[in-house]
């Protein structure tokens, strides 16, 4: 059964950081606002992002911060100028959430978790008059322009003075971001960049022995090199290949290389603090009666997964060649053959092209409909950059709705 209602007010579709921030801007302007989401509760992916410690933003200089958005810097920078990382921290403090800067410059809530922040935020939004409508999956528009939703009671159709779409990307679909909106917007002629995995792992053809023994093992204190990019950190051996923060930092370039050439050659420095000459010297040191494994551990500090990684590319004879061994330790080749599926990625690239939007993030083909968050065509590495831009774009969309309503009522 289809129910029709003339709800009016502003309808926000998506209860993640972007949608909730747009709701707050609108509520503060005294505009009646309802947030609709397909999941049984708000902020599902936001809660997952904070499960291991919520990295909310980064404390580096603004010029360095905006550089993290790569090819989309020009589009994201104005949003961050209007709602900066510092403004985000002040906003958190206004919620009663204190923050601290970690040793890497990453900013975390003192409690480290997303749940307390989200509870305080939702409580404040409800006090400001924002209403929440959950288990409501957006189905697009009907022929008269009403918004269609699938609900447990059947289809519902409502009117809106303006709409904010904050539906997320297409990673972690079990948390609500399944990218189904792409077909709905494409049907209305909205230009979209294909949705692709971002901050993702990659497939590698490990030997059965290595995969069975070391899947799940961390690779710590290494550097990864691709082209002129070099990052220090750690990553994780997976059943399919390799993943983790160090890999995510290079994933956009690696993914693009695979799309063009069918594979990407990544190099790992297994001893990034040692120059090649020292590694060669230690590799060539006489080992007497000691085993090669003992020699690698005592002279080169390599054991476990690092030592056995070398055996993936060097034969038993080559392992005894100190020059080749040293070169491989400093430039270990990893042939990446495919990114992991989009559903496994931390985030997604692609989405609504900025050319389809005006400066207030309103769709030029559908006046009164605004877009925010990960469903826009941008990407960024982990480290607080993803969340900060989601908050900032929600803030911009909310401001845009306020201004549009003011103009339309003149």
Contact 109, 12 (CB under 8 A): no
> pTM to 2 decimals?
0.91
Please state which of the ranges 18-22, 93-97, 144-148, 284-288 shows the lowest mean pLDDT: 284-288
The pLDDT assigned to 2 comes to: 58
Instruction: Reply yes or no on whether the pLDDT at 131 is more than 80.
Output: yes
User: Based on the domain organization, do 356 and 309 belong to the same domain?
Assistant: no
Q: In whole angstroms, what is the distance from residue 154 CA to residue 317 CA? A: 69
The pLDDT assigned to 68 comes to: 94
Tell which of 312, 339, 366 closes a domain.
339
> Which percentage of the chain shows pLDDT scores above 90?
83
Q: DSSP secondary structure string, 283-327? A: HHS--TT--HHHHHHHHH---HHHHHHHTTTS-TTGGG-HHHHHH
Q: Collapsing DSSP states into helix, strand and coil, what is residue 163?
A: strand
Instruction: Reply yes or no on whether the pLDDT at 7 is more than 70.
Output: no
Instruction: Give every CB contact of residue 130 below 8 A, 6+ residues apart in sequence.
Output: 23, 24, 26, 27, 33, 34, 35
Rounded mean pLDDT, 371-393: 95
Instruction: Reply yes or no on whether the pLDDT at 209 is more than 80.
Output: yes
**299, 301, 305, 309 alpha-carbon torsion, rounded to 10°:** -50
Q: In whole angstroms, what is the distance from residue 125 CA to residue 133 CA? A: 13
Query: Nearest-5° angle of CA 16, CA 124, CA 17?
Result: 15
Rounded mean pLDDT, 86-104: 93
User: Based on the domain organization, do 365 and 262 belong to the same domain?
Assistant: no
Among 160, 184, 76, which Cα is nearest to 367's? 160
Confidence of residue 64 (pLDDT cuts 50, 70, 90): very high
User: Based on the domain organization, do 86 and 176 belong to the same domain?
Assistant: yes
267: phi then psi, degrees, rounded to nearest 5? -115, 140
User: Based on the domain organization, do 133 and 225 belong to the same domain?
Assistant: no
Confidence of residue 330 (pLDDT cuts 50, 70, 90): very high
pLDDT tens sequence across 28-48? 999 999 999 999 999 998 888
Rounded mean pLDDT, 378-407: 96
The pLDDT assigned to 283 comes to: 87
The pLDDT assigned to 298 comes to: 87
Our count of domains for the chain comes to: 2
- Any bridge partners for residue 223, and if so which? 232, 269
3-state secondary structure 23-80: HHHHHHCCCCEEEECCCCCCCHHHHHHCCCCCCCEECCCHHHHHHCCHHHHHHHHHHH
User: Based on the domain organization, do 210 and 288 belong to the same domain?
Assistant: yes
The pLDDT assigned to 118 comes to: 94
User: Based on the domain organization, do 156 and 228 belong to the same domain?
Assistant: no
- For 269, the domain range is 202-339
User: Based on the domain organization, do 352 and 379 belong to the same domain?
Assistant: yes
**52, 181, 194, 346 alpha-carbon torsion, rounded to 10°:** 0
Give the β-pairing of 218-226 and 229-237.
Answer: antiparallel
pLDDT tens sequence across 155-200? 999 999 999 999 999 988 888 889 999 999 999 999 999 999 999 9
The pLDDT assigned to 100 comes to: 94
Strand extents, DSSP E, 125-240: 131-133, 137-141, 147-151, 154-158, 162-165, 192-198, 202-203, 218-226, 229-237
Rounded mean pLDDT, 402-409: 91
Instruction: Reply yes or no on whether the pLDDT at 410 is more than 70.
Output: no
Among 314, 199, 296, which Cα is nearest to 251's? 199
210: phi then psi, degrees, rounded to nearest 5? -65, -45
Please state which of the ranges 5-19, 211-225, 260-274, 309-323 shows the lowest mean pLDDT: 5-19
What secondary structure letter does DSSP report for 332?
E
User: Based on the domain organization, do 32 and 135 belong to the same domain?
Assistant: yes
The pLDDT assigned to 409 comes to: 75
Confidence of residue 326 (pLDDT cuts 50, 70, 90): very high
User: Based on the domain organization, do 178 and 207 belong to the same domain?
Assistant: no
Confidence of residue 1 (pLDDT cuts 50, 70, 90): low
Q: What spatial distance separates the first Cα and last Cα of the chain, rounded to whole Å?
A: 38
Looking from the CA of 296 toward its CB, the CA atoms found within 13 Å total 22
Rounded mean pLDDT, 368-384: 95
User: Based on the domain organization, do 189 and 68 belong to the same domain?
Assistant: yes
Higher-pLDDT residue of 6, 394: 394
């Amino acid at each position: 059964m289809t129910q029709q209602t003339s709800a009016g007010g502003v309808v926000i579709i998506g209860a993640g950081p972007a949608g909730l921030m747009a709701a707050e801007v609108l509520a503060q302007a005294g505009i009646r606002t309802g947030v609709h989401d397909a999941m049984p509760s708000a902020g599902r992916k936001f809660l997952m992002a904070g499960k291991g410690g919520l990295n909310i933003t980064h404390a580096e200089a603004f010029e360095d911060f905006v550089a993290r958005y790569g090819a989309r810097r020009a589009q994201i920078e104005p949003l961050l100028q209007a709602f900066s990382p510092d403004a985000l921290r002040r906003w958190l403090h206004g919620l009663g959430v204190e923050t601290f800067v970690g040793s890497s410059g990453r900013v975390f809530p003192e409690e480290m978790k997303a749940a307390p922040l989200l509870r305080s935020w939702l409580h404040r939004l409800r006090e400001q008059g924002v209403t929440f409508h959950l288990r409501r999956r957006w189905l697009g528009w009907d022929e008269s322009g009403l918004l269609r939703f699938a609900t447990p009671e059947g289809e519902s159709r409502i009117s809106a003075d303006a709409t904010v779409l904050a539906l997320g990307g297409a990673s972690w679909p079990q948390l609500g971001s399944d990218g189904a909106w792409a077909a709905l917007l494409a049907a209305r002629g909205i230009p979209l960049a294909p949705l692709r995995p971002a901050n993702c792992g990659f497939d590698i053809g490990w030997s059965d022995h290595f995969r069975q023994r070391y899947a799940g093992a961390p690779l710590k204190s290494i550097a990864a090199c691709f082209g002129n990019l070099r990052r220090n950190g750690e990553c994780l051996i997976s059943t399919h290949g390799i993943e983790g923060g160090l890999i995510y930092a290079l994933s956009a370039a690696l993914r693009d290389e695979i799309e063009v050439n069918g594979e990407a050659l990544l190099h790992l420095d297994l001893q990034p603090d040692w120059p090649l000459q020292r590694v060669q010297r230690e590799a060539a040191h006489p080992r007497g009666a000691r085993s090669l494994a003992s020699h690698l551990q005592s002279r080169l500090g390599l054991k476990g997964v690092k030592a056995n990684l070398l055996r993936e590319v060097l034969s038993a004879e080559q392992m005894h060649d100190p020059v080749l061994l040293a070169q491989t330790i400093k430039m270990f080749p990893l042939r990446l053959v495919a990114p992991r599926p989009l559903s496994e990625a931390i985030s997604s690239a692609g989405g609504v092209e900025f050319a389809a939007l005006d400066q207030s993030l309103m769709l030029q083909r559908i006046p009164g409909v605004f877009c925010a968050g990960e469903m826009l065509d941008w990407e960024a590495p982990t480290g607080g950059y993803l969340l900060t831009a989601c908050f900032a774009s929600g803030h911009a969309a909310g401001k845009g709705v306020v201004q549009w309503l003011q103009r339309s009522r003149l």
